[in-house]
Amino acid sequence: MIQLDNLTKVFDTPKGAVVAADHISMTVPSGEICILLGPSGCGKTTTLKMINRIVKPTSGKVFINGEDTTALDTQDLRRNIGYVIQQIGLFPNMTIEENITVVPKLLGWDKARYRERARELMAMISMEPDAFLKRFPSELSGGQQQRIGVARALAADPPVMLMDEPFGAIDPINRAVIQDEFLKMQQELKKTIMFVSHDIDEAIKMGDRVAIFREGKLVQHSSPDDLLAAPKNAFVESFLGEDRALKRLNLVKVEEVVSDEIATVSPGDTLETALARIDDYGYQNAILMVNDQRQPVGLITRAKARTTKGYCRDHFENVPATVTLEDDLRKVASLMFSQDATWLPCVDDEGRVCGQITQRAMTHHLGSRFRAREAATRNPDSAVKE
Amino acid sequence: MPIQSLKGALRALLLVAIFFAGVWSQSSGVIDDFLWYLPDVQYLAIQHLWLTVISGGLAILVAIPLGIVLSRPSMTRWAESLMQVLNVGTTIPTLAVLALSMSFLGIGTVPAVFGLFVATLLPITRNTYAGLKGVDPALMEAAAGIGMSSTQRLLRVELPNALYVIFAGMRTALTINVGTVPLAFLIGAGGLGELIFTGIDLYDPVMMLAGAIPTALLAIVVDALVATVAFLMVPRGVNPSRA
C-alpha cells in the first residue's frame, strides 16, 4: 500500500515559487496499479518522484505499507522500491545480467542467489536467458531494453514499484505487447504500482485506479470506469476527450452485456421454420444456423427465407464473425461496424453458441451510468450507487 | 579491378624505393653515422621516457581526481569558471611554461618535470570533467533511483561510462608530452632534445635526425600503448573500438 499524506513540492525559481504538487493525498491499495495522469507540467511526475525522494518533498509524508518513510535512509528506501523510467536508463557498461542484478548486489545477496534470480527474471519477461544475459544493452531493441528495465526494477522483489512513463518511448505495436505482458505479470506478482502516463488509453488499459492531475492538484481519483462515466468537472471531461463513452468500450467485457437468449435453426430445418422463428423472436434480418455441437455454421436471412423454399442447409450464408465472453466491447463494436451488423453471436471456449450481443444491449449498458448520473444531478438526494 | 592493380603497382614501387633508399644509405655511410649515435640515443631515450613517465604520471594522478571533483554537483558553481582558467592555461605555449618554471625553480630536471606536468594536466582534467559531465542524466537518475550511494554511482556508472573519453584525453596529453620533452633540454633536463638542438646548432642533420626520429617513434609507441590500455580497460558495452 502506498499512502500519500499532504505531499507538497514548491520549487524556488527566479520567477518566484512554483507549486509543483499541492497537498496531494491519496492511497493506492496493495496489489493495485494507480495511474497518475495529466498534461505535462501538472505535477504527476513530481508526485511520483517524491515517493523515492528523487525529488525531495517540501512537506507531507509518504507511507509504504503503513510505515512512515520520512525516517528511513534514502538508499534503503530506494532499494526497496522498483523504479522504471521512460529513458530506460540501463547501464551501457554492464551486461544484461549485471544490470538486472545491481540491486540484489547492493542488498548483499550471495552470487548463486542473484544469478539464479537473473535467470528467473528473464523467464518472467519471456526472454531467453542464455541468449541475452551476457549481452550489452546497446545490442538490444528498445522494447527488449525496457523489458530488462522492468526486470531490473523487479529484481529484489520490492513490494512497491514506481514507473515514470515506462512505455512512452516504445513504438505503438511493441508498446501494446509490453503492456499486455506487464499486466499478465502483475496478475501474479500483485505489486503496488504508481505509474505516470500522459496517455489516456494507456491509463484506462493499465489502471485499477486513475488519478488526474492539473496544475499541481489532484483533481479526481477513481476507477477508470467511474472516471469515464462520471468526470468530476469540465477539465477532466475535456482531458478524457469527447469520445470518452467509446473509451469505456475497452473496460466492458462481452460477458457483462451478453444475452444468453438466442434462437437458432439447425441445417435440417426448413426455411419456413426459420422464417417463423425470425418473426417469433422479432429478429430483423437473419437467424443463426448451428450444427449438432451448437457451433455456428451459417446465417439464414429473412429475405431468403421468405422467397425460397427448401432446407436451411442449402440456403445459408457465412457467419460474419463471432465473439467470445472475454472480448471487450471495443472489439465487438469494431466487428459490428466492419460487418454492418447489429448483433453478433457469442461463443464459449469450445466454440459453441452461448448467446448474442446486440448494439442495443451495448448502448444500453454504457448509457445506464450516464443516465444514473443525470438522475443524480437532478435529484441530489439519491446518490449514485452501482 | 583497375584500382586494385594500381594499388599493387604503387605497393611494388614503394618496395623498390625503400630498397634503393636502403642501398643508398648503406653505400653513402649514413647508417654508420646514425649507428655512431646509438649509445647516445639509448641513454637519452631512457632519460626522455623517464621525464614523460614522471611528469605524465603525476599529471594523471592529479588531473583525474581534479576532474572528478570538478564534476561533482556541489562544485557546479565553480567548475565552469575553473575550467575556463584551465582552458586559458592550455593556450600558453609549453616553451613559455618551461621558461616560467625555470625562473622559479632554476635549471635541471625539477623545473622540466613541473613544466611538462602543467602542460599534460590540462587535457586530462578537461576530458575527465567533460566525460563525467557527459554521462546521460537518465543513467544517473536510474542509478540513484535503485538506491546507489554517490560513491557507488561514481565507481559503477559514471567512471566506466566516461572512461573512453578520459582515455582519449590521456592519449592526446601523453603523446604531446613525449613530443614536448625535447624542449626540456633547453632548461637542462636532458632527453633526446640534446641531439636535436645540438644538431641544429652544429648544422649536423644526422645528429638532429638521430634525436628527432627516436622522439617521433617514442610518441607513436606511447600513443599505441595508451590506446591498448584503453582497449583493454574500457568496458565492452561502452567501448566504440570493441563494438
Tell me the per-residue pLDDT of B169-184, one tens digit each, with 9 for 90 and over: 999 999 999 999 999 9
Q: Can you give the pLDDT at residue A326?
A: 87
Question: Nearest 5°: CA angle at A107, between A84 and A133?
Answer: 60
Mean pLDDT score, A344-352 = 89
Q: How many domains does chain B have?
A: 2
Q: What is the CATH number of the domain that holds B198?
A: 1.10.3720.10
The closest CB to that of B142, out of A75, A89, A138, belongs to A89
Parts of chain A belonging to CATH 3.40.50.300: 2-251
Q: What is this structure's pTM?
A: 0.80
Q: Can you give the pLDDT at residue A386?
A: 38
Q: Can you give the pLDDT at residue A379?
A: 60
Instruction: State the DSSP code for A207.
Output: -
Q: Are B42 and B12 in the same domain? A: no
Mean pLDDT score, A70-79 = 92
C-beta atoms of B157 and A93 within 8 A = yes
A383 pLDDT above the threshold of 60: no
Q: Which of A85, A86, A88, A91 should be substituted to probe chain B, the one whose Cβ sees the most B Cβ atoms within 10 Å?
A: A91
Query: How far B141 CA lies from chain A's nearest CA (Å)?
Result: 8
Q: Count of CB contacts below 8 A, A vs B?
A: 77
Q: Is A92 an 8 Å CB contact of chain B? A: yes
Query: How far A379 CA lies from chain B's nearest CA (Å)?
Result: 50
The closest CB to that of B138, out of A74, A89, A152, belongs to A89
Structural domain containing residue B128: 37-242
Mean pLDDT score, A214-222 = 93
Question: Strand, helix or coil at A23?
Answer: strand
Q: Are B145 and B46 in the same domain? A: yes
Q: Are B89 and B56 in the same domain? A: yes
Regarding beta strands A160-164 and A81-85, do their DSSP bridges make them parallel or antiparallel, or are they unpaired?
Answer: parallel
What Cα–Cα distance (Å) separates residue B77 from each residue in A214, A259, B71, B82, B124? 34, 70, 10, 10, 21
Mean pLDDT score, A221-232 = 90
C-beta atoms of A91 and B148 within 8 A = no
Q: Are B101 and B8 in the same domain? A: no
Closest CA to A316 of A304, A331, A325: A304
**pLDDT tier for residue A384 given thresholds of 50, 70 and 90:** very low
Q: Can you give the pLDDT at residue A215?
A: 92
Closest CA to A120 of A107, A133, A110: A133
Q: Are B79 and B25 in the same domain? A: no
Q: Can you give the pLDDT at residue A137?
A: 93
Mean pLDDT of chain A: 90
Q: Are B96 and B9 in the same domain? A: no
Cα atoms found within 13 Å of the Cα of residue A265, Cβ hemisphere only: 29
A23-27, A252-256, B58-62: the lowest-pLDDT one:
A252-256
* Chain B residue nearest residue A100, CA to CA: B146
The closest CB to that of B145, out of A85, A93, A138, belongs to A85
Residue appearing with cell numbers 512513463: A165
Alpha-carbon dihedral sign for residues B149, A73, A87, A136: positive
CA-CA distance, B25 to B17, in Å (whole number)? 12
Parts of chain A belonging to CATH 3.10.580.10: 255-363
Q: Are B7 and B58 in the same domain? A: no
Q: Are B6 and B113 in the same domain? A: no
CA-CA distance, A163 to A152, in Å (whole number)? 12
Query: How far A50 CA lies from chain B's nearest CA (Å)?
Result: 11
Chain A residues in contact with B236 by the CB 8 A cut-off are: 136
CA-CA distance, A275 to B219, in Å (whole number)? 99
Regarding beta strands A343-347 and A33-37, do their DSSP bridges make them parallel or antiparallel, or are they unpaired?
Answer: unpaired
The closest CB to that of A87, out of B138, B148, B237, belongs to B138
How many other CB atoms sit within 10 Å of the CB of residue A176?
15
Class of domain A2-251: alpha beta
C-beta atoms of A89 and B238 within 8 A = no
Q: Are B110 and B144 in the same domain? A: yes
Closest CA to A103 of A135, A72, A78: A78
**pLDDT tier for residue A378 given thresholds of 50, 70 and 90:** low
Mean pLDDT score, A70-97 = 93
Radius of gyration of chain B (CA): 23
Phi/psi-derived region of residue A3, left when phi > 0, alpha when psi is between -120 and 50, beta in every other case: beta
Please, which residues bridge with residue A287 across strands? Answer: A300
Instruction: State the DSSP code for B155.
Output: I
The closest CB to that of B146, out of A76, A78, A137, belongs to A78
A265 pLDDT above the threshold of 60: yes
Q: Which of B132, B141, B146 should be substituted to probe chain A, the one whose Cβ sees the most A Cβ atoms within 10 Å?
A: B146
Ranges of residues in chain B whose predicted pLDDT is under 50: none
Say which CATH topology domain A255-363 has: CBS-domain (3.10.580)
**pLDDT tier for residue A286 given thresholds of 50, 70 and 90:** confident
Q: Are B18 and B115 in the same domain? A: no
A147 pLDDT above the threshold of 90: yes
C-beta atoms of B148 and A89 within 8 A = no
- Are A169 and A87 spatial neighbours (Cβ–Cβ below 8 Å)? yes
Q: Are B147 and B217 in the same domain? A: yes
CA-CA distance, A269 to A264, in Å (whole number)? 10
**pLDDT tier for residue A377 given thresholds of 50, 70 and 90:** low
Mean pLDDT score, A77-105 = 94
* Chain A residue nearest residue B162, CA to CA: A93
Amino acid at site B237? G
A382 pLDDT above the threshold of 80: no
Q: Are B20 and B69 in the same domain? A: no
A264 pLDDT above the threshold of 80: yes
Question: Strand, helix or coil at A243?
Answer: coil
